[in-house]
Amino acid sequence: SSTIKGSKKAQLVTPLEYAQRLQANLIVPVARKTTYLQGKRIFYVGGDMQYAGTKTRGRMEYIVKHGGMVVPKYDPALVTHIVTDSNARSTLRALSLKSFSEIPDHIPTVTWSWVISGYGRATRDKGKTSGNVKNQGKAKAIDGKVGQDDVLDLEFLHAAFPERIDAGFGWQKNSRLGEVGSSSERAQSSKTSRTKIFSDGNGDVSGISDFTQENPAKKGTTSRRDTCLTVLPPPPLDLKSSEGPDRTRNAAPEPPNVRRSKRPPVDVENGAEDPLAEYYAQAKAEREAAWKYNESDSDDGNDDEDKDFEVAKDLAPKRGFTCDRKEPQRSVCVNQDVVDKLEELMELHKAKPSYHDRWRVFSYAKCIRALRNYPRPVRSFSEARSIRGVGEKTALKIMEIIETGGLQRIAYEKTEDVEATKIFQGIYGVGEHLRRQMAFTWFASGIRTLDDIKARKDGLKLSPAQEIGLKFYDDINSRIPRAEVERIFAMIKAEALAIDNNIFIDIMGSFRRGKADCGDIDILITRSTTDGRTHQGMLEIIPRNCVLPLLLERLHAANILTEDLALPGDFSMLELTYRGLCKLPEAGAKRRRIDILCVPWESRGAALLYYTGDDIFNRAMRMKANVLGYSLNQRGLYSGVVRDPRDQRVKMCGGSIIASETEEEIFEILGVPWQESHERVRG
């Protein structure tokens, strides 16, 4: 347990304070089982906003429990390792640094996996003898320095950030750990090696020679570390590694650009060069490439399998918030065949209620958006994989579509229950996320078609709104042409202004984003407060000031509104939502879904921003606001928000509104370039 002994609830302390308590033995962890971390002075970054969470406390205790020391505050003269479970920004903030270049090269920056990499070997080998061929009968010196280094993985295998992959010299020292001979010989050998490591005669810097050095006295003996060095990660693409800037004036020099060196062979012991020397630099480059893919960056090199393809650098946008970049809106998608199949698969996952399917929908939507904006047809797996937002599995699906014209996964996911429930979810009140399980409940009870629902099979009961949704199923589930939306809105606007010419009324949703057709009609209503009046109030008390109920009455009388799906419970509120069906007042017109929202005058800008969308753009705006310390919703942009450090979704203090009347002021405060509504399409 990471709670302080004797207390029922963990005290709120910062990571610095908790590390200080551990260091001062105010918190006594469980008795040590191993000491494989002995001599390691670790500065741990858990990514906590303010107070040390349960995970951070537990990991600090783990370090102490296994012989290490937790350093409360980063001090390069004291720290031997930086262990982080957070991103680069949070790590630098915890270190009080502006750049990783300020960290000396002898201090590796690794993930938590490095810390626990030695636990299994330490507990397995404790008190046992080594089974190596030439060391039989010798106890493994786990508590000694060499033994400890041998227990833990090489640091670069667990490097937290690409620019820090070559920090630390554990991988260079490894080849000399078991060196046999007099101390003078080892010193001379070490001195000679260092001379050859850091200069190749041309002024270039290289660490490859010492990395691949092999002690002739130990030939035939394969250590754990030597073995793991030969197991390389699968090459994702032939990327050019990006070398970071020099870290410190006294830092060890970095290896040269990653490529097979053509310099003369370096004399290692007995004048023989390690035949694998040239491959280790390639391994380093491939590992750096893996980071770029894990972060969904696209490559900017050439693919050996497709020499004609070269990903242009300008196709790979810099990482950041989606809302900060205006994305090209292409009228013609050159990968439409791929998009169609992926959309079909996405819709099947959308019909399922599970949490995992929700994330698959999000992932496919991101991929489809990237493919729509891609300027040329995808031709190879490596090209598909290089597109930001396309993972390895999705790239395989893309290649299957390109090569066969189909996608077997669609047939796999298109089961009878998914097909049936997808139809059921087209009924109003069933397809909503929280009620989606209702469709699967109907299927489990034996209902298979809309006719079964109409026949009330097995005593099925529907709500009044679901009855309406079933009756006009085809109308509601068909897209609305833009011209029809314009005609309906013009009639509604005329009726609203006839009630009060100070009313502000606008159309939102996909229509405002410039779409050619819409799923429903979203209308925003508010009223200027310059004369001291608003749209709120009861119709019986303030007839001219209660806009919504009077407007609904007039629209029903004009045969524009036909059915009510959801009415506000209290028309005296400033925030009101009406849901219903409308149509053009002419014979044969289809029923269309309509939502009318009333908001306070001072919130009109935030409401327009929120209800215009699209969803991906809105999520990016809200995420950026959260990162900057604000909170954004349909009412406005809030500052001074205080969140629960244990759960960032819980607000301890809601803050105060600093922008809400116009979209422009919200964009300006968040530092988002202004974008017209039609430029906010991301999905």
pLDDT of residue 13: 86
- CA distances, 408 to each of 159, 345, 398, 601 (Å): 38, 10, 11, 52
Residues 67 and 131 in one domain: yes
Q: Which amino acid would we find at residue 596?
A: I
Asked whether the beta carbons of 250 and 239 are under 8 A apart, the reply is: no
Residue 333 covered by a domain: yes
d(CA 196, CA 537): 86
Asked whether the beta carbons of 274 and 214 are under 8 A apart, the reply is: yes
Q: pLDDT tens, 22-47? A: 877 755 555 666 888 988 999 999 98
Residues 82 and 132 in one domain: yes
User: What CATH number should be reported for the domain holding residue 625?
Assistant: 3.30.210.10
Residues 665 and 560 in one domain: no
d(CA 103, CA 250): 11
Helices (H) and strands (E) in the chain, counts: 27, 18
Residues 27 and 105 in one domain: yes
Domain ends where: 599, 629, 647?
A: 599
């289809």: which residue's tokens?
A: 590
d(CA 23, CA 540): 72
pLDDT of residue 558: 95
Q: What's the per-residue H, E or C state across 453-510?
A: HHCCHHHCCCCHHHHHHHHCHHHHCCCEEHHHHHHHHHHHHHHHHHHCCCEEEEECHH
Lowest mean pLDDT across 41-50, 271-280, 630-639: 271-280
- CA distances, 207 to each of 141, 212, 245, 256, 474 (Å): 28, 9, 17, 8, 70
Domain extent at residue 143: 1-168
Instruction: Reply yes or no on whether the pLDDT at 221 is more than 60.
Output: no
Q: How many domains does the chain have?
A: 6
Residue 28 covered by a domain: yes
What is the DSSP-derived secondary structure letter of residue 4? P
User: What CATH number should be reported for the domain holding residue 595?
Assistant: 3.30.460.10
Alpha-helical runs (H) found in 11-81: 15-23, 54-65
The torsion of the CA quartet 439, 440, 444, 450, rounded to 10 degrees, works out to: 30
What percentage of the chain exceeds 90 in pLDDT? Answer: 42
- CA distances, 194 to each of 548, 600, 638 (Å): 82, 72, 58
How many residues are recorded in the chain? 683
d(CA 292, CA 538): 59
Q: pLDDT tens, 165-218? A: 888 765 454 444 444 444 444 444 444 444 443 334 444 433 333 433 444 444
Residues 583 and 517 in one domain: yes
Nearest Cα neighbor of 43 from 28, 22, 13 is: 22
Residue 594 covered by a domain: yes
Residues 585 and 661 in one domain: no
Helix axes 547-557, 482-499, angle to 10 degrees: 120
User: What CATH number should be reported for the domain holding residue 420?
Assistant: 1.10.150
Q: Which amino acid would we find at residue 576?
A: L
* Secondary structure (3-state) at 598: strand
Residues 424 and 503 in one domain: no
Residue 312 covered by a domain: no
- Mean pLDDT taken over the chain: 76
Asked whether the beta carbons of 665 and 605 are under 8 A apart, the reply is: yes
Residues 6 or more apart in contact with residue 264 via CB below 8 angstroms: 201
d(CA 41, CA 565): 65
d(CA 281, CA 211): 10
What proportions of the chain, in percent to the nearest 5, are helix, strand and coil? Answer: 40, 10, 45
- CA distances, 614 to each of 319, 383, 453, 459, 610 (Å): 20, 28, 34, 40, 8
Q: Which amino acid would we find at residue 589?
A: A
What is the DSSP-derived secondary structure letter of residue 347? H
**What is 296-339 written as a DSSP string?**
TPPP-SEETTEEEEE--GGGSPPSS-GGGSPPP--SS-TTHHHH
Residues 102 and 126 in one domain: yes
pLDDT of residue 144: 41
Burial of 627 (0-12, 13-18, 19+ CB in 10 A): exposed
Question: What are the structure tokens assigned to 545, written together?
Answer: 């000031």
Residues 2 and 141 in one domain: yes
Q: pLDDT tens, 470-525? A: 999 999 999 999 999 999 999 999 999 999 888 999 999 999 999 999 999 999 99
pLDDT bin (cut points 50, 70, 90) of residue 10 is: low
Residue 509 covered by a domain: yes
Domain ends where: 295, 330, 358?
A: 295
pTM comes to 0.54
Residue 666 covered by a domain: yes
Q: In this predicted model, which residue has the larger pLDDT, 117 or 281?
A: 117
Domain ends where: 449, 471, 493?
A: 471
Q: In this predicted model, which residue has the larger pLDDT, 607 or 174?
A: 607
Q: pLDDT tens, 239-248? A: 333 444 343 3
pLDDT bin (cut points 50, 70, 90) of residue 118 is: confident
Burial letters for 351-383: b for 16+ Cβ neighbours within 10 Å, e otherwise? bbbeeebeebbebbbbbbbbbbbbeeebebbbb
Containing H/E element for 119?
helix 119-125
pLDDT bin (cut points 50, 70, 90) of residue 328 is: confident
Residues 352 and 488 in one domain: no
607-621 average pLDDT score: 92
Residues 516 and 443 in one domain: no
Residue 387 covered by a domain: yes
* Secondary structure (3-state) at 593: strand
Residue 508 covered by a domain: yes
Q: pLDDT tens, 420-469? A: 999 999 999 886 765 678 888 899 899 999 999 999 988 899 999 999 99
Burial of 679 (0-12, 13-18, 19+ CB in 10 A): middle
What is the DSSP-derived secondary structure letter of residue 349? H
What percentage of the chain exceeds 70 in pLDDT? Answer: 69
Lowest mean pLDDT across 359-373, 567-581, 640-654: 640-654
What is the DSSP-derived secondary structure letter of residue 271? G
Residues 40 and 152 in one domain: yes
Lowest mean pLDDT across 81-90, 222-231, 395-404, 586-595: 222-231
How many CB atoms within 10 Å of residue 225? 18
